[in-house]
Copies of this chain bind each other. A is one copy, B any other.
Amino acid sequence: MTTTPTVRKLSYSRAINEALAEELARDERVFIMGQDVGAFGGAFGVTRGLHARFGGERVIDTPISEMFLVGGGVGAAITGLRPVVEMQYADFLWNAGDEIVGKMSKWRYMHGGLFTVPMVLRLPEGAAGGAGPEHSTCPEAALLAAAGSYIVIPSTPYDAKGLLKSAIRDDNPVAYFEHKGMYGLKGEVPEEEYTIPLGQADLKRVGDDVSIITWGRMVHRALEAAETAAADGISVEVLDLRCLRPLDVAAIVATVEKTGRVIISHEAGKTGGGGGEIAAIIAEECITSLEAPVRRICGIETPVPQSTHLEQYVVPTAEDLGAAITDIARY
């Protein structure tokens, strides 16, 4: 008789921490830098304990210099190291725009493939607790045009750990978005080491009538909405893309062909969010499978207000999704 392994539950934040610890231990070329990532453990506590365990040369506190954080990471990466850079907020990618888009993403290509740029940018994103217009966005789509870099957005502790380990080991640069509102979220994470390949979407729920294609924190609201819809007899499939690059086009096409009714949902505002790209791919690749117009259920198209009172209206809720499901199922 085999014993069921005891299932361990970890928070999203701890899962990331564990991935970092394991990779720091495994490969001495890996190091972490960012603001207050050292003894303080990071603005959100994600790097807690790493400074004590690995020391100040592996876990480095930096000045408030985002261009250095990324550009310096590139410099270290092309000379043999594997930096994991923490931005205090994902929104700050705009403070290092050229370093991300022009240097991290292009250095290898534009120098004829002579270098690799194995670095990971950790980007805590999302609306959570009134952090305002400059500390609350989900800017992952800003990097869609930045060919050369991968874009990873895990939605569960399990995915967060497995994808981060792959990202650190990958020789391409990776922008890794982690939603601040999920740090406390708990989920199963095996004791044993594992990795998740970049570029594979994950069916978080299987269904027949309607597909929700989503990523990041919206996955959970989609699952909630799917649960509610099930009670009404509508079977909803939830596809978590997990990566915007490499993008799992096959998984997108498969779910569209299966249900013919698609809702795309992300927290970022609709215009210029990643959903446009997904909708376009559907319109190109499998439009004839559609039984209803595509719908995007996304964040508001304004900066995120500072006031928590208004902030609550910014991100689509499970109810918003529920209404869209009912609508599209009836179409």
Residue positions of A touching B, CB distance < 8 A:
91-98, 100-102, 105-106, 109-110, 132-134, 139, 141-148, 245, 268-269, 271-273, 275-280, 282-285, 287-288, 290, 293-296, 301-303, 305-306
Hey, which chain B residues are within 8 Å of A146, CB to CB? 272
CB pair A102 B287 closer than 8 Å: no
CB pair A145 B272 closer than 8 Å: yes
Nearest opposing residue in chain B for A97, CB measure? B97
CB pair B302 A109 closer than 8 Å: yes
A95 to B98, CA, bound (A): 5
CB pair B277 A284 closer than 8 Å: no
Nearest opposing residue in chain B for A279, CB measure? B280
Nearest opposing residue in chain B for A93, CB measure? B97
CB pair A142 B145 closer than 8 Å: yes
CB pair B303 A293 closer than 8 Å: no
Given the interface contacts A146-B272, A283-B282, A283-B293, does A94 sit within 8 Å of B97 by beta carbon? yes
Partner of A302, one of B133, B147, B268: B147
Q: Which of A93, A278, A290, A303 has the most CB of B within 10 A?
A: A303
CB pair B145 A271 closer than 8 Å: yes
A148 to B144, CA, bound (A): 21
Hey, which chain B residues are within 8 Å of A145, CB to CB? 139, 141-142, 268-269, 271-273
A238 to B301, CA, bound (A): 29
Give 5 new A-B contacts, CB below 8 A, not counting A110-B306, A283-B294: A105-B303, A106-B303, A142-B142, A283-B290, A287-B293
Instruction: Enumerate 9 A-B pairs (CB-CB under 8 Å) in ascending A order.
Output: A94-B101, A102-B134, A106-B134, A141-B272, A145-B271, A145-B272, A147-B301, A280-B283, A284-B294
CB pair A147 B94 closer than 8 Å: no
CB pair A133 B110 closer than 8 Å: yes
CB pair B290 A287 closer than 8 Å: yes
A294 to B286, CA, bound (A): 10
CB pair A133 B106 closer than 8 Å: yes
Hey, which chain B residues are within 8 Å of A284, CB to CB? 279, 293-296
Hey, which chain B residues are within 8 Å of A282, CB to CB? 283
Partner of A285, one of B94, B142, B276, B293: B293
CB pair A102 B94 closer than 8 Å: yes
CB pair A280 B293 closer than 8 Å: no
Hey, which chain B residues are within 8 Å of A98, CB to CB? 92, 94-95, 97
Nearest opposing residue in chain B for A145, CB measure? B272
